[in-house]
Structures are given as C-alpha cells and as structure tokens.
C-alpha cells in the first residue's frame, strides 16, 4: 500500500493510493496515518478495505505521510562514499542524532533557509517508519517492526551543525527541514530496502545519484541498534543517511540561498519537489 495525507497543514485527511492513481479517502476507516494504524494489525485492517468503494479526494497539497511522529531519529555518515566526501572516517557504530519534529513538513512544501544561515544543504535519505513497537529488538526480528518507507530530505545548515559547537541537532531542526513523503510505502512493497536508487537535483542539476547499497549499517541493523537505547514506537521515523553529492562536498561547496528548486526521489517511493525560500 501507498498511504498518504491530503490537505492543508493541520487539516490533512488520511488516504490510500488506489491502483488508478487517485487518492482515496480513509476518513472514517482510520483517524490518521499514525499510531495504531501503523501496527501490523492496523495495516492488515487497511489492506482489507476495498479502495474502489472509497471516495476519491480532489487533488491538493500532499502533507507529511505520517502524523503524530514521536521521534525523528537520524543517522550520520551512514554511506561509505558520503563519509569519504566529508573527509571523515566510516563510523564503527551508527552516529545517532535527533531532528526536531517541528521540522516535519509536506514533500512539496517550501523549504525555508533560516535566518543567519550561510551553509544550507540538502540530503536525500531513506526514511524507515516503525510499525510494531519494541525495545531490545534482535537483529533477526528487526524487519518485523518496520511499517514501511518514505523519502526524506534531511535539510541541514552546516555552519549551525558543525561550527557552532554542541550537537548536530541545531543544524538539522529548522522549520521545514524535514520534508517526508509523498507516500508511506508499506514494507511488503519494498522487498529489498538495501537496493534502492536515490537522487537529488537542484535547479535541474543532479548532485546526488546513489543507492542504498552503499549504506554502512543497513535497515535491520539500525532498527535493532537504536532499540538498545530507546524503545521504538509506531510512527517513529529513522532517517538512514545520505549518499555523496551534498552541497558541502562540492568543490567549491554549493549552498542554498533561496530561490532554488530541489527535486529528489527514491526508487519505488515517489518524488519530492521543493521551492527554497527564506525565513
């Protein structure tokens, strides 16, 4: 299934993408694409619904594909080729940091360069959405906890992140720095999350052209690893790192100033397009 949310901010309606490509209204079937709806039992209930019997929603803004996200967990330097372009060693354990939930926005919403920004950057990433809750999850059981996957643009302000001291979160959490969607694609439709092409363009120039094959730590390892430090709950998102081609890695570096257009996508998970504005 491809689950999505249609409507203006705060007024999104839960929907499922029908075979004919129309978004069908799940209002009355489920409160939202969140919480219990993402558990294995919740997804089974949605699979049993006859999409042809549901009313079609008019075209409109696509909201974040998951509502009520409890934790937005990010993994740094998780692609060997991206670590190399950053001039950093491949980590021995996953580098974990949090992104503020208030950064979450729709996949095609305007991304705002924050005030006093000098090094605003892009990162196409595979998002993993948790379905079955758990803690201390065994690696062999990890994939049963995954509800599905989505595209994430882990927008970053590198000066805030690297040059201002403290933790990376301050460079990752500005409003609009977390576009997710367009869809939550359920795990049964993604047989191998470690073999997905991914790309990102700015103003038509392709900067990132990679694959999840070059991940240092795969999805199963990350789910198990993170669960050793915190319980994972339905709707939590793990953003699993980015391939090479970020603005910081260009020679000379290229950063977002406002006025640009970003397009990005992951094989089978849809595409995002964002205008870049200024806060």
Residue-wise pLDDT for 61-108, tens only, equals 999 999 999 999 999 989 987 777 777 678 899 999 999 999 999 999
Q: For 16-60, what is each residue's pLDDT tens digit?
A: 999 999 999 999 999 999 999 999 999 999 999 999 899 999 999
Q: Is the pLDDT of residue 269 over 90?
A: yes
* Start-end of CATH 3.90.850.10 domains in the chain: 72-278
Residues 101, 266: contact at Cβ < 8 Å?
A: no
Q: Is the pLDDT of residue 136 over 90?
A: yes
Q: Is the pLDDT of residue 275 over 90?
A: yes
CA angle 189, 78, 99 (to 5 degrees): 85
Sort strands 72-76 and 237-239 into parallel, antiparallel or unpaired. parallel
Gap between the terminal Cα atoms of the chain: 36
Question: Can you identify the CATH homologous superfamily of domain 72-278?
Answer: Fumarylacetoacetase-like, C-terminal domain (3.90.850.10)
pTM comes to 0.96
Q: Which of 228, 236, 211, 182 is nearest to 69 (CA)?
A: 236
Q: For 218-232, what is each residue's pLDDT tens digit?
A: 999 999 999 999 999
Preceding omega of 26 cis (within 30 degrees of 0): no
Residue 139 to residue 190: CA distance in whole angstroms: 18
């Amino acid at each position: 299934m491809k689950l999505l949310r249609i409507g203006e901010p705060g007024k999104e309606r839960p929907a499922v993408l029908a075979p004919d490509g129309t978004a069908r209204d799940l209002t009355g079937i489920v409160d939202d694409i969140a919480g219990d709806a993402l558990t294995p039992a919740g997804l089974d209930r949605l699979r049993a619904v006859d999409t042809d019997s549901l009313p079609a929603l008019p075209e409109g803004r696509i909201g974040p594909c998951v509502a009520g996200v409890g934790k937005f967990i990010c993994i740094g330097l998780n692609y060997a080729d991206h670590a190399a372009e950053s001039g950093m060693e491949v980590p021995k354990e996953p580098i974990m940091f949090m992104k503020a939930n208030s950064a979450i926005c729709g996949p095609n919403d305007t991304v705002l360069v924050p005030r006093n920004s000098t090094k605003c950057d892009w990162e196409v990433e595979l998002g993993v959405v948790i379905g079955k809750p758990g803690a201390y999850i065994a690696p062999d059981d990890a994939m049963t906890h995954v509800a599905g996957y989505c595209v994430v643009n882990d927008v970053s302000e590198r000066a805030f992140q690297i040059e201002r001291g403290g933790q990376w979160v301050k460079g990752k959490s500005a409003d609009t720095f977390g576009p997710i969607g367009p869809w939550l694609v359920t795990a049964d439709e993604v047989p191998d999350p470690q073999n997905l092409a991914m790309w990102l363009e700015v103003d038509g120039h392709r900067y990132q052209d990679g694959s999840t094959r070059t991940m240092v730590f795969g999805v199963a390892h990350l789910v198990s690893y993170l669960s050793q430090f915190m319980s994972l709950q339905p709707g939590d998102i793990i953003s699993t790192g980015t391939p090479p081609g970020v603005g910081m890695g260009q020679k000379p570096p290229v950063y977002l100033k406002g006025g640009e257009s970003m397009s990005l996508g992951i094989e089978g998970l849809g595409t995002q397009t964002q205008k870049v504005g200024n806060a």
